[in-house]
Chain A
Amino acid sequence: MLLEVRDLHVEFVTRDGVAKAVNGVSYAVGEGETLAVLGESGSGKSVTAQAVMGILDTPPGRIGAGEILFQGRDLLKLKEEERRRIRGARMAMIFQDALSALNPVLSVGDQLGEMFVVHRGMSKKDARARAVELMDRVRIPGAAQRVRDYPHQFSGGMRQRIMIAMALALEPALVIADEPTTALDVTVQAQVMDLLAELQREFHMGLILITHDLGVVADVADRIAVMYAGRIVESAPVHDIYKAPAHPYTRGLLDSIPRLDQKGQELYAIKGLPPNLMNIPPGCAFNPRCPMAQDVCRTDEPPLYEVDRHRGSACHFWRDCVNG
């Protein structure tokens, strides 16, 4: 396995109390594989990724327990110095909002070139040449002229492609993309996802795609991990989960997508609201919103049951759920 996260716990200490953002998350990504981490705001999907990248704000954040094994080494045991050498070179991140992730006062050429100067010790001139190559690679028209331009001079789609170029500059083994197309229009989103998939095939890298969009997941992912209130509630190969979800939350999300044959009818809606992370309900965190909840769900926290060799579900009644 390229990356293995084991039983990760992250909490944030705030004035009002401790927010338990990640409560025992485990997942793994292999080389060339795409893992989609699906969840709503506050589900802990981004915080987990930040912990993997080592860019969590500490304090207020705190990694309580867990292991993050990257190419066999536990990143949490490394010194910051060693992590810095890995970050950017062997694992890289693509952020949602390219405009705020790029430095507004440096030209895109300088920012792309910096990767080569810092990690590879190249001269500025060589680094600039590599920057042009990269911009070409992500199909920025007129790369040689535009390398001196600043981020605000590019459109949203082009900025996101520059972010992708920067993430892939040093051919990392793992890329984490946090909602990479959420801020983009659909036609541009399709361009960007296409490019990302193409580059992933070419470099055979592992990709963690963090998203809330079930459509994007169906398009590109090999496996899905569904997160709710800081835990993985279901983990499965992409085809299985759309065919027969094994957790009522996943089922609820799939059912709330408007379908043609439901036009004019009421949409299925998951009742209630996601829980407050400072006060997660006892038992299964989803139980107050769950149509299948029984007494045991209010008292016993479900482990990730094995549905089959490739699937897990954190629902006491996953059998009923899979069978509809």
Chain B
Amino acid sequence: MVEAIIEVDGLVKHYPLTQGVLFKKQVGAVKAVDGVDFVLNKGETLGIVGESGCGKSTVARMLVHLERPTAGLIKYKGEDITGLSGRALKAVRRNIQMVFQDPYTSLNPRMTVGDIIGEPYEIHPEAAPRGDRRRRVQDLLDVVGLNPEYVNRYPHQFSGGQRQRIGIARGLALRPEVIVADEPVSALDVSVQAQVINLLARLQKDFDLSYVFIAHDLSIVRHISDRVGVMYLGRIVETGRDEEIYDHPTHPYTQALLSAVPVPDPEAREHRERIILSGDVPSPTNVPSGCRFRTRCWKARERCALEVPLLAVPAVFRHVPGPAAHDSACHFAEETRVVPPEEPAGEAPDDLDEGGA
């Protein structure tokens, strides 16, 4: 039984641009997030991918109430939590925790690891009785694979990967149901990324967590996510199960994004078709009319400037059940496979054996 734990409906975040000192007047707005809808089901991982400035981090910050939405709803277990404040907000916040991108700046350098991980208990004293906190912190260190004896150390005594584990332990302290992870591995070295991804996957099983996993690395998002949403300039342009998005993308932006990712296989160099987009992402203060991707899209026609495409199953696929029939905000959606199908493990079966060991 699929049970929605978070529902986001028409979420908008505009930052006003003002002019003048005494008589401030609004001259425009940075439309960081401009109408985002999604559902996170219990126990699943929703991946959100997109390039810098697409609004994915702003969505994350709104989910944990670090930013207040300009418009739209965030529902937690069916209850609208957007307007909550005071005690009611605090109660909800316990259940939605965040893991930040940069393990170097998101941990207070003057606090010991024990204080950092235990700080949530200061804010929510009902979560753990005072006398029990140290033990709980040590348990958490153990859970994330750090030596429980490290409680009195300071963040600078740890490597990047270890710090990210501390950040994860802090996120787990209140036993939340939802964890919003904003680029949790992008600051880490390749050999350490896999360790942290494995940790997150294990914790999800052990603690029955639901994840919103935000990243720009498409292969990592695919590995960990059940469903994926692709964001561009403040909106989700395509969303579906991971194989629907990766193997049967129908939105031109998703296709360009996937084709641009370098594939770690030199054999693919020759027979890979790449879509090189021209130009840069437009400024979120001045969003193009109609479809916001049209200024860089090779398929754009007059209709794209006039009519905003809705995020829904495109008409061409509506009556053909199959992996291409998923939500895509494009007037001219077409299915194109851009990533060459990976050969089944035949070529290097030994790697896998070793990987499991």
A residues with a Cβ closer than 8 A to B are 40-41, 141, 155, 157-158, 185-191, 193-194, 212-219, 221, 238-239, 242, 251-263, 265-271, 273-274, 291, 324
Contact = CB atoms under 8 A, between A and B. Distances in A.
A47 B330 CA distance: 47
Contacts of B1: none
Contacts of B216: 185-186
B52 A273 contact: no
A186 B261 contact: yes
B351 A215 contact: no
B351 A324 contact: yes
Nearest to B253: A187
B67 to A, nearest CB: 22
Contacts of B356: 265-266
Nearest to A191: B276
A266 B197 CA distance: 9
A185 B198 CA distance: 25
Nearest to A258: B223
27 contacts: A40-B191, A185-B52, A186-B51, A186-B257, A186-B260, A187-B256, A187-B276, A190-B276, A191-B278, A193-B262, A212-B190, A213-B262, A214-B264, A215-B264, A219-B262, A219-B269, A255-B354, A256-B194, A258-B219, A259-B342, A260-B222, A261-B352, A267-B223, A269-B198, A270-B195, A273-B192, A324-B351
A141 to B, nearest CB: 8
Interface in B130-164: 159, 161-162
Contact of A253 (B190, B268, B354): B190
A239 B344 contact: no
| Interface size range of chain B in the complex | 35 or more
The B contact surface, by secondary structure, is helix
Given A268-B354, A269-B198, A291-B357, A252 B280 contact: no
Nearest to A185: B51
Contact of A262 (B51, B265, B352): B352
Given A188-B280, A251-B354, A268-B355, 12 more contacts: A185-B51, A187-B276, A190-B277, A218-B266, A219-B262, A242-B264, A251-B351, A253-B190, A261-B345, A263-B242, A265-B356, A269-B194
B225 to A, nearest CB: 9
Given A186-B51, A267-B223, A218 B268 contact: yes
Interface of B: 51-52, 159, 161-162, 189-195, 197-198, 201-202, 216, 218-220, 222-223, 242, 256-257, 259-269, 274, 276-281, 342, 344-345, 348, 350-352, 354-357
A155 B261 contact: no
A261 B355 CA distance: 12
B295 to A, nearest CB: 13
Contact of A190 (B269, B274, B279): B274
A273 B163 CA distance: 12
A265 B356 CA distance: 9
Contacts of B344: 261
A178 to B, nearest CB: 16
Contact of A215 (B197, B242, B262): B262
Nearest to A186: B260
Contacts of B267: 239, 242
Contacts of A251: 351, 354
A274 B245 CA distance: 35
Nearest to B162: A273
Contacts of B264: 214-215, 217-218, 242, 254, 257
A158 B281 CA distance: 12
Contacts of B52: 185
A221 B262 CA distance: 12
A274 B189 contact: yes
A269 B195 contact: yes
Nearest to B267: A239
Contact of B257 (A187, A214, A256, A291): A187
